[in-house]
Amino acid sequence: MIARRHQVALALTALLAVTAAWRADARDPDTRTAAPGPPATRTFTLAATGDVLPHASVIDRAHFDAGGLGYDFRPMLAGAEPVVADADVALCHMDTVYGASGDYTGSPLFRSPPQIADALAATGYDSCSTASDHSLEDGAPGVRRTLDALDRAGVRHAGTARTGAEARAVTLLRAGPAKVAHLAYTYDTDGRPMPAGQPWAVNRIDENRVVADARAARAAGADVVVVSLHWGTEWQDAPDTFQITLARRLTASRTGGRPDIDLILGTHAHVPQAYEKVNGTWVVYGLGHQIAGDMFNAQGLLDPRGSQSSAARFTFAAPARPGGRWQVTGAAFVPQLFDVDAGRIVDLDKALARGADVGGVRDRIRNVVLSRGAARAGLGTGG
C-alpha cells in the first residue's frame, strides 16, 4: 500500500512538473519546443519559355491594351502565367533591346518598349536570357537600357552586360532549396561588332567559354547550371548539325564525375524544336516564339509556325549526398500559340479542352517536340 502511494506521488509530481513547464513555455514563446513539422522540401521546379520578339503589331497591341496611354504587355502574357508563376524559378528569353522613350520599332531593327520588363516581372519570371542576334541593334545604349529596365522591374538577366565586372559575374537564382546559375550566349550578333572598348557586351557561343563559365558558376555555389543558347537554323524544325554537336560536347563535359551543365535551353529558330536527353542531360533545341507578330519564312510566305512554341517544365531533386548531381525527376512541356490577332498567349491543351479547333496545331508542336525520343526519356505534357 505504501509502495502504491509512492508511485501515485511520483506520477503527480511529474504531472505538475510538465504542467509548470508548459505554462512557462506559453508565457515565453522562445522557450517552446516546436512540434515536428513536415520535412523540408528537397525539390524545385523550373519553367522556361521562348523568344519574346515584339514586332510593330505587338507593340501596337500593348499600346491598345494600355488604353492608348503607354504600353501594357501583361494581358498578352497572361496565358503563360499558370506555368510561369507556379514554378520555383522561371526563365524567359528577351530577344530584343529596349528603345529610348517613344522610339519603339519592330523589324528590321527592334527597339521595344521597356514596359515589357514590368510585364515579365508581373507574370512571374525570375530571369531572362538577353544574348541574341538582336542584342546590338541599338549599340551599347540599347544593352544598357534593356538591363536597366529589367533591374528596375526586379528581373535578373544573363548574356549581355554593361561593364566588364557584370560580364564576369554569375547570375545566381534561389529556387526553393537550391541555387540555380543562369548563363546565356548567342551564335552571332548579325555581324555587328562589339561596342568599342566593350568586348564583353554580348556573350558569344564558344564551347570552351561556356564550360569555363559553368565551372565558375559551380564554384560560386550553383547547385544547378542552366545554359540558354541562341542558336539553330531559322525555320528548320529539326536541330542542325551545329546544335547537335555542341549539345553533345557540352553535356559530356564533367568535373569530378559530375556534369558541368544540368540543362540547355535553346531559342532563335522561329519554330519549336525537339527536346532530347543527351548524355543524361535534357536539351531543348528550340522553344519557339512565345510572342511575335506575323512571321514570313525564307520563301517569303506567311508561316504560322512563327507563332508556335512550347513551355518547358523540369523538376529537380536534391542528391542523396553532398556534391552529387541534382537529378531531373520530372520533365514536361506545354504547347502554346501566340494569337496574333487577339494578342494573347494560348495554352493549346486548355483551349482544346474548351472545344477550340486547335488540335492540329497542338499535335504538330507535340510531334516536333517528341521527334528525338523525348517521350521514351520521360517527357510528358502539361504544366
**How many other CB atoms are there within 10 angstroms of residue 176's CB atom?**
18
Instruction: Take residue 22 and report the three cell numbers written for it.
Output: 508548459
The pLDDT of residue 40 is: 59
More confident position, 268 or 103? 268
* pLDDT tens track for 159-171: 999 999 999 999 9
The mean pLDDT value for 250-258 works out to 97
CA-based nearest residue to 224, from 256, 257, 253, 263 = 263
Q: Are 155 and 116 in contact (CB under 8 A)?
A: no
* pLDDT tens track for 103-150: 999 999 999 999 999 999 999 999 999 999 999 999 999 999 999 999
Instruction: Take residue 47 and report the three cell numbers written for it.
Output: 519553367
The pLDDT of residue 12 is: 35
The mean pLDDT value for 8-17 works out to 37
Q: Are 83 and 334 in contact (CB under 8 A)?
A: yes
Q: Are 173 and 198 in contact (CB under 8 A)?
A: no
For helices 241-252 and 207-219, the axis angle rounded to 10 degrees is 30
Determine whether domain 51-381 maps to CATH 1.10.3470.
Answer: no
pTM, two decimal places: 0.90
- Look at strands 43-53 and 89-94 and give their pairing: parallel
pLDDT band with cut points at 50, 70 and 90 for residue 260: very high
The mean pLDDT value for 286-297 works out to 97
- DSSP class of residue 160? B
- DSSP class of residue 93? E
Instruction: Take residue 70 and report the three cell numbers written for it.
Output: 503607354
Rounded distance between C-alpha atoms, residue 89 and residue 116, angstroms: 19
Q: Where are the domains of the chain?
A: 51-381
| Average pLDDT score over the chain | 91
Q: Are 259 and 281 in contact (CB under 8 A)?
A: yes
The pLDDT of residue 35 is: 47
- Look at strands 281-284 and 263-267 and give their pairing: parallel
pLDDT band with cut points at 50, 70 and 90 for residue 382: confident
The mean pLDDT value for 252-262 works out to 97
Q: Are 58 and 106 in contact (CB under 8 A)?
A: yes
How many helices (DSSP H) and strands (DSSP E) are in the chain? 11, 19
E strands, 260-300, where? 263-267, 275-278, 281-284, 289-292
Dihedrals phi, psi of 291, to nearest 5 degrees: -135, 125
